[in-house]
Amino acid sequence: MDNQKNKRKSTAAGSKRPKKNRGRLIVVSAPSGSGKSTIINWLLQEHPELNLCFSISCTSRAPRGTEQNGVEYFFLTPEEFRQRIDNNEFLEYEEVYEGRFYGTLKKQVERQRSKGENVVFDVDVKGGCNIKKYYGDEALSIFIQPPSIEELRRRLEGRGTDTPEVIDQRIERASFELTFADQFDRVVVNDDLATAENETLGIIQEFLTKS
C-alpha cells in the first residue's frame, strides 16, 4: 500500500516537470506597418540555427496578394472564427476592427512546442500582451516600434494595399498601441531595417541560451 502511494506521488511530481525538449516562445508585436513581419521572415530564412518556427495565426480578413491559407494565416470567415471562439480553441484572439478577427490556436502552439521548435508569434499588440501573460518567463516579448507616426503613415501608403480610410484607422490604432510598448520585455526601434534585424537577433540569441 505504501509503495503504491509512493509510486503515485512520484508520478505526480514527475508530471509537473517541464519537458527538456519543449520549444521556447518568442512574441513579436508592433503597430501595422512597423516591419515586424519583415524582421520575422528574415530571422526564419537567414538563421536556421535558431530553430525558429513561424506560428500561423487565424484571421477573418481576406488574403492579400500571394498569401495562402495555412502559410501566412489560416483564413476563416467571421462566422467560422466566432465558432472557434465559442469552442475555446484560441490562446488569444481579438476583433481588431468590426468583423475582422485575429487569433492564435492553442493546439497549433502546443503541437510545435512538443516538437522542440522555438515558436515565433507575429501578433498584434494586445495579442502579444496576452500570450506573454499566459506563458510568463517561458516567452520573450519584443515590441517593434516605428521611428514616428509620420513615418508609419508613409510606409502604409507605400504598401498600396489599403484605402485611405483603412490607413487612417491603422494610424489611429497605432497611436494607441504605442502606449503598450513598456509592457514588453524589449523594444526595438525600426528606423533602419538592417540595424533592427540584428538587434532583434541578438535579443533572441540571448533568450534562447538562458537555462
Contacts of 158 (CB under 8 A, 6+ apart): none
DSSP for residue 122: E
The confidence score (pLDDT) of residue 144 equals 95
Ranking 13-17, 24-28, 205-209 by mean pLDDT, the lowest is 13-17
Residue 152 belongs to some domain of the structure: yes
Residue 163 belongs to some domain of the structure: yes
143 SS3 class: strand
Helices and strands (DSSP H and E) totals, the chain: 8, 9
Residue 67 belongs to some domain of the structure: yes
73 vs 4: CA distance, rounded Å: 49
Residue 9 belongs to some domain of the structure: no
Query: CATH number of the domain that 126 lies in?
Result: 3.40.50.300
* pLDDT per residue as tens digits for the range 170-194: 888 888 999 999 999 999 999 999 9
35, with CB counted inside 10 A (0-12, 13-18, 19+), is: buried
39 in Cβ contact with 144 (< 8 Å)? yes
Residue 195 belongs to some domain of the structure: yes
Residue 29 structural domain: 22-208
2 vs 143: CA distance, rounded Å: 53
Q: Number of structural domains, the chain?
A: 1
Please report, rounded to a whole number, the percentage of residues in the chain having pLDDT higher than 70: 90
Residue 140 belongs to some domain of the structure: yes
Residue 5 belongs to some domain of the structure: no
The confidence score (pLDDT) of residue 204 equals 97
Q: pTM (2 decimals)?
A: 0.75
Residue 17 belongs to some domain of the structure: no
The confidence score (pLDDT) of residue 211 equals 62
Contacts of 60 (CB under 8 A, 6+ apart): 75, 76, 77, 78, 80, 81, 99, 100, 101, 102
